């Protein structure tokens, strides 16, 4: 009897371990550093915000969050790295609208953002700025449109890559204004900005994060912003819609994304930590001064945004006849 009793207690102990171990593994997350992939080169708006978020997220999670720039392939390099990563919460992507746009640019979609990834949280949203090089001698959106109509194909616009919100804002502007302007794609916002500052490209729709000093010091001219209303950060700057393109709007969003299959407890923990990090006063105040609003979400709300964006961008791509170049 004693042997049987001991054996029975051992069995109960093993069963208890089977139930307890997964919970212990989940509640101990994270136990090591986390990679935050960014699909752009260092120095651009997404990189700047991603690094600010990583600092605050490290505090919220109690582990280092290390930014890893994986620019290339129109954001595909970073997205593929995320898709192939273990679904354990240790590899995340700080994504933008391009996460939804990029697969739509291919005849055969490279991935399905809605079903192949796990949303964690939206972090920011922002209208873009229409920036021009001072050398262009264009001081209003109206003059830019007039010049473009008089000189078809002479004006070119930069973007950080094919398929980004910057790119599509330029394409939408081209169609709305009925002008012929030429897209020049770069491998990141930083090299695009360098050429804009040097006057090698004429204009660019881009985030104002990291660029306001260029505007204030006269190195770049801000003609307009792309929101439905004027930005609180630049109240004296009109919107593109005010220049006669009624209804014109273009926004960028940023948020944190995980591989599909990431356990729900980890998703919930990451969501809470990202929301806390994004709302840190340092981030809110820094971004507000440059026209970017901290806007957070639940995973479900972020997935709903992906579904909505997929439909809207698919329509925009068809109207502008945009594809991978």
Encode pLDDT of 103-138 as tens digits: 998 878 789 999 999 999 999 999 999 999 888 788
Distance CA 239, CA 291 (A): 13
C-alpha 36, offset from chain centre: 13
Nearest to 157 by CA among 131, 184, 190, 191: 184
Asked if 209 and 99 count as a contact pair (C-beta separation under 8 A), the reply is no
Residue 116 per-residue DSSP state: S
Question: Mean pLDDT in each 10-residue stretch from start to end of the chain (325 residues)?
Answer: 47 46 60 96 91 97 97 89 97 95 85 95 95 87 96 94 88 95 90 94 92 92 94 92 93 96 98 97 92 95 96 87 61
Q: Domains plus CATH for the chain?
A: 33-125+253-320 (3.40.190.150), 129-243 (3.40.190.10)
Task: State the Cα torsion 315-320-321-325 to the nearest 10°.
Answer: -110
The pLDDT of residue 9 = 53
Task: State the Cα torsion 155-156-157-159 to the nearest 10°.
Answer: 180
132: left (phi over 0), alpha (psi -120 to 50) or beta: beta
Helices within the chain (DSSP H only)? 2-27, 45-61, 76-84, 98-101, 141-150, 165-177, 189-198, 212-216, 264-278, 281-288, 299-320
The pLDDT of residue 170 = 95
- N-to-C CA span, the chain: 79
Backbone angles phi, psi at 73, to 5 degrees: 65, 25
CB atoms within 10 A of CB 298: 15
The pLDDT of residue 14 = 45
């Amino acid at each position: 009897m004693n042997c049987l009793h001991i054996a029975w207690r051992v069995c109960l102990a093993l069963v208890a371990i089977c139930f307890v171990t997964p919970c212990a593994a989940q509640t101990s997350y994270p136990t090591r550093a986390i990679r935050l992939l960014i699909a752009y080169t260092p120095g651009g708006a997404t990189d700047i915000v991603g690094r600010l978020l990583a600092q605050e997220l490290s505090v919220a999670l109690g582990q280092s969050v290390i930014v890893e720039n994986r620019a290339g392939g129109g954001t595909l390099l970073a997205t593929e790295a995320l898709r192939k990563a273990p679904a354990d919460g240790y590899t995340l992507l700080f994504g933008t609208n391009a996460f939804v746009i990029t697969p739509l640019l291919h005849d055969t979609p490279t991935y399905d953002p809605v079903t192949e990834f796990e949303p964690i949280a939206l972090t920011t949203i922002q209208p873009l700025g229409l920036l021009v090089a001072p050398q262009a001698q264009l001081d209003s959106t109206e003059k830019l449109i007039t010049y473009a109509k008089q000189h078809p194909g002479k004006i070119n616009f930069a973007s950080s890559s094919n398929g980004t919100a910057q790119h599509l804002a330029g394409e939408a502007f081209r169609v709305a204004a009925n002008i012929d302007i030429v897209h020049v794609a770069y491998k990141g916002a930083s090299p695009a900005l360098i050429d804009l500052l040097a006057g090698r490209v004429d204009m660019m729709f881009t985030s104002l994060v990291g660029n306001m000093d260029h505007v204030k010091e006269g190195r770049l001219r801000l003609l307009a912003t792309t929101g439905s209303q004027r930005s609180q950060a630049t109240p004296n700057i009109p919107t593109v819609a005010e220049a006669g393109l009624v209804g014109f709007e273009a926004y960028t969003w940023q948020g944190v994304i995980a591989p599909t299959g990431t356990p729900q407890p980890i998703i919930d923990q990451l969501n809470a930590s990202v929301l806390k990090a994004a709302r840190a006063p340092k981030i809110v105040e820094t971004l507000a001064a440059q026209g970017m609003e901290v806007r957070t979400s639940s995973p479900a709300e972020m997935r709903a945004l992906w579904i909505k964006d997929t439909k809207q961008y698919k329509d925009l791509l068809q109207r502008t006849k945009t594809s991978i170049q």
